[in-house]
Every structure is written in structure tokens, then in C-alpha cells.
């Protein structure tokens, strides 16, 4: 009896600590409330009607809704029962939901080869194998026909092989995939956060791309900006809190081959700019756009070039116009030279 009383007093004390927001660690066994997995009750969103067997999700406010392509909806399972909250407010009614299990669902168009691949909700009654605009619901475990298959809704991994690809999927559009976004404590040497080194081991006509980035707007979708890659190195903190003994670069490109190589390469560039735009562009397009400096350090110039007579030359020609070198460029198939000056030329 005394032992039971001691445990009860300890449990009550721990409960009070939690309620008061005071952190605590266990010093004895604790009775933790639990529920059986597989069936969970969710509050239903205002004006929503949930039908038994529907694919359902949590809206941006945490209330249950029929699944759709709305980006803030997060799939939670299959409705166990019908609930009509069409005249109610958020949370007026609750609906029980199967959160795990294998279900035979209607599909737009699937194939036997898709077994083992993720499936996505198009609406509350239909799934598809494409996840471009849809929410992940599970993995196809058995193919029935082109318009139906068995899906394990308990399998919703963030990373999974899909056909010839490895998909990394976030649960919501407001989340990003982070790789090695952590604190480094090494005090010497160099660290590399992410590395990609595909190696062609057998020759042929194959081409290799290390990283491909192709963000896009779907047809009819409007927005603000579209940026392929953003590089933003930052020195955090104010005042003298650590100097850099080497360079600070947004991008570093290096073309390289092993010494003694006798390969022939048709063309070589560190940066290759192309454009295939249609429609109207208000300003541009330009291969390069430079904004005015935003800090208290002004730009030192447009570019820093080597004095090697291959890219640029700084030789003083002695001309009366103070021409003091050139930049070498290729226009079409012809080599041309842009003169530079040792002083600002007069008009």
C-alpha cells in the first residue's frame, strides 16, 4: 500500500512540474498514457463533410478535411466513418481515421512496374504516381488494374527510390530539405557540406551532369521570382568576431584534367549562358546583372582579370589617349580586343 502511495505521490509531483512548465527527469517508473495505433480521432474543419473511405488530411490549422491538391493539406489517413460538419465550425465534430493499414484505392493510371513506388492523393477518392502537386499517401504494394491498387498508408518515407530516381520529399510546401545544416567545431583544415562526384567508368556517348536544378512555374501559375540557384555566403555577428585569411566567394569554378592527359575537348567554359525565353521581358535579359553594393564596402570594380595576355594585358602602350592594356574576347569566330585605360577617358 505504501509503495502504491509513493508512486501516486511521485506521479502527481511530476504532473505538477509539467503543468508548471518546470523541466524534470524521471527517477522512477512512470505511467505514460497511450493509445492503440491505427485509429485516431481528428477534429473536423468548418463546413467540411467527410465520407467513409475518403482520403483525408490536416489543413493548415490542424483540422480534418477531404484531401485535395491544396498545398497546406497533409495526408493523415482513410476516414473510418462519415461525418457531416457542413453547418459546423472548426472542431464541432470529430472523425475517426485509419492512420495505418493497406487499402485498395482508385487510381488515375498506374502500372505493375509501379509496385514499391510512392502514391499521391489527387483528391479524396483518387491517387496517382506523380507527386508534382500532390500529397504523399503511401506506397503501392499490390497492383490490381490500371485504375486501382493496394496502398500501404503506413509507408510514407521522406526518401524512397522511384523508378530510376531517389525522391526526397518534404511533408509540406513550407519545409525544405536540409543537408548538413549544423555547427562545425573543427578549427583547422577544410570541410565540405555536400559533395557529388559521378564518375563515368565505361566510355561511349554518355554525358554527365553533376547537379541539375530546374525550378519552374506550371502553366497558368503566376508568382514573383524564379531563381535557379542562390549562393549567399554570410559572415554572422557584428564587430571583429573572426577574420578570414583567404577569399570569400559566391561561386568557384575550376576546369581540370590530369597532368599528361591527351584528351580532346570540343569546348570548355566555366560559365555558359544561354536563353530561350518567349513572351515579354521588361528588363533584359542580360548574361550578368550587378546591383549596387548594399553594405558599407563598395565594389572595387567589375572584374579582376589576370595580366597574362591571354585574357587581359596591362601593358602601357604609350598612346596619347592613355590606353594601357586590353581585354581579349571572341566575337563569333574572331578574336577581338577591348581597350582599357589607365585613367578615366574624357568624353
Encode the chain (347 residues) as per-residue pLDDT tens digits.
Answer: 544 545 554 555 555 544 444 456 889 998 888 887 889 999 999 999 999 999 999 998 999 999 998 877 889 999 999 999 999 999 999 999 999 999 999 999 999 999 988 898 999 999 998 765 578 899 999 999 999 999 999 887 665 545 556 667 676 677 788 888 888 888 888 888 899 888 988 878 999 999 999 999 989 999 999 999 999 999 888 877 788 888 999 999 999 999 999 999 999 999 999 999 999 999 989 999 999 888 888 888 889 899 888 888 887 665 656 788 888 888 888 988 888 888 777 65
pLDDT for the residue numbered 174: 76
CATH code assigned at 138 = 2.40.300
Residue 67 and residue 123: Cα distance in Å, rounded? 5
Domain for residue 284, yes or no? no
Domain for residue 224, yes or no? no
| Domain of 87, in residue numbers | 38-174
User: Do residues 177 and 168 make contact, with C-beta atoms less than 8 angstroms apart?
Assistant: yes
Domain for residue 192, yes or no? no
pTM of the model: 0.57
Residue 216 and residue 224: Cα distance in Å, rounded? 12
User: Do residues 93 and 87 make contact, with C-beta atoms less than 8 angstroms apart?
Assistant: no
Residue 117 and residue 161: Cα distance in Å, rounded? 7
pLDDT for the residue numbered 94: 97
pLDDT for the residue numbered 173: 73
pLDDT for the residue numbered 21: 47
Domain for residue 63, yes or no? yes
Residue 77 and residue 90: Cα distance in Å, rounded? 19
pLDDT for the residue numbered 184: 86
pLDDT for the residue numbered 37: 82
Domain for residue 252, yes or no? no
Which phi and psi angles does 49 have, rounded to 5°?
Answer: -120, 120
* Structural domains in the chain (count): 2
Q: Which of 149, 174, 199 is the last residue of a domain?
A: 174
pLDDT for the residue numbered 347: 57
Domain for residue 199, yes or no? no
pLDDT for the residue numbered 213: 92
Which phi and psi angles does 177 have, rounded to 5°?
Answer: -90, 120
pLDDT for the residue numbered 158: 61
Q: Which of 174, 194, 212 is the last residue of a domain?
A: 174
Q: Which of 174, 202, 225 is the last residue of a domain?
A: 174
Among all chains, which residue has been given the C-alpha cell 550578368?
288
Alpha helices in the chain (DSSP H): 2-19
Q: Which three cell numbers stand for residue 253?
A: 569554378
Q: Using CA of residue 269, residue 271, residue 277, residue 281, what is the dihedral sign?
A: negative
Domain for residue 88, yes or no? yes
The DSSP 8-state label assigned to residue 114 in this structure reads: G
pLDDT for the residue numbered 20: 45
Rounded to 5°, the CA angle 57-66-34 comes to 40
pLDDT for the residue numbered 142: 96
Domain for residue 48, yes or no? yes
pLDDT for the residue numbered 182: 86
Amino acid at each position: 500500500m505504501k509503495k502504491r502511495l509513493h508512486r501516486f505521490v511521485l506521479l502527481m509531483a511530476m504532473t505538477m512540474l509539467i503543468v508548471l512548465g518546470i523541466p524534470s527527469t524521471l527517477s522512477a517508473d512512470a505511467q505514460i498514457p497511450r493509445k492503440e495505433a491505427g485509429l485516431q480521432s481528428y477534429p473536423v474543419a468548418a463546413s467540411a463533410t467527410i465520407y467513409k473511405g475518403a482520403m483525408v488530411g490536416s489543413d493548415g490549422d490542424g483540422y480534418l478535411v477531404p484531401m485535395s491538391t491544396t498545398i497546406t493539406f497533409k495526408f493523415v489517413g482513410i476516414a473510418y466513418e462519415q461525418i457531416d460538419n457542413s453547418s459546423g465550425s472548426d472542431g464541432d465534430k470529430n472523425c475517426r481515421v485509419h492512420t495505418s493499414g493497406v487499402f485498395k484505392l482508385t487510381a488515375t493510371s498506374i502500372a505493375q512496374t509501379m509496385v514499391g513506388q510512392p502514391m499521391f492523393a489527387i483528391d479524396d477518392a483518387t491517387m496517382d504516381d506523380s507527386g508534382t502537386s500532390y500529397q504523399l499517401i503511401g506506397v503501392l504494394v499490390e497492383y490490381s488494374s490500371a485504375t486501382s491498387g493496394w496502398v500501404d498508408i503506413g509507408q510514407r518515407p521522406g526518401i524512397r527510390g522511384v523508378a530510376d530516381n531517389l525522391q526526397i520529399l518534404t511533408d509540406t510546401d513550407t519545409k525544405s530539405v536540409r543537408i548538413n545544416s549544423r555547427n562545425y567545431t573543427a578549427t583547422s583544415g577544410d570541410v565540405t557540406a555536400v559533395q557529388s562526384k559521378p564518375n563515368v567508368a565505361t566510355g561511349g556517348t554518355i554525358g554527365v551532369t553533376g547537379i541539375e536544378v530546374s525550378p519552374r512555374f506550371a502553366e497558368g501559375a503566376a508568382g514573383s521570382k524564379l531563381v535557379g540557384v542562390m549562393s549567399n555566403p554570410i559572415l554572422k555577428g557584428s564587430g571583429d568576431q573572426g577574420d578570414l585569411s583567404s577569399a570569400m566567394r559566391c561561386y568557384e569554378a575550376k576546369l581540370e584534367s590530369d597532368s599528361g592527359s591527351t584528351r580532346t575537348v570540343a569546348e570548355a567554359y566555366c560559365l555558359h549562358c544561354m536563353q530561350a525565353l518567349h513572351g515579354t521581358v521588361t528588363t533584359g535579359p542580360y548574361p550578368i546583372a550587378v546591383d549596387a553594393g548594399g553594405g558599407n564596402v563598395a565594389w572595387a570594380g567589375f572584374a579582376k582579370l589576370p595580366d597574362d595576355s591571354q585574357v587581359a594585358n596591362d601593358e602601357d602602350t604609350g598612346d596619347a589617349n592613355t590606353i594601357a592594356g586590353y581585354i581579349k574576347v571572341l566575337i563569333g569566330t574572331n578574336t577581338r580586343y577591348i581597350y582599357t585605360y589607365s585613367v578615366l577617358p574624357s568624353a
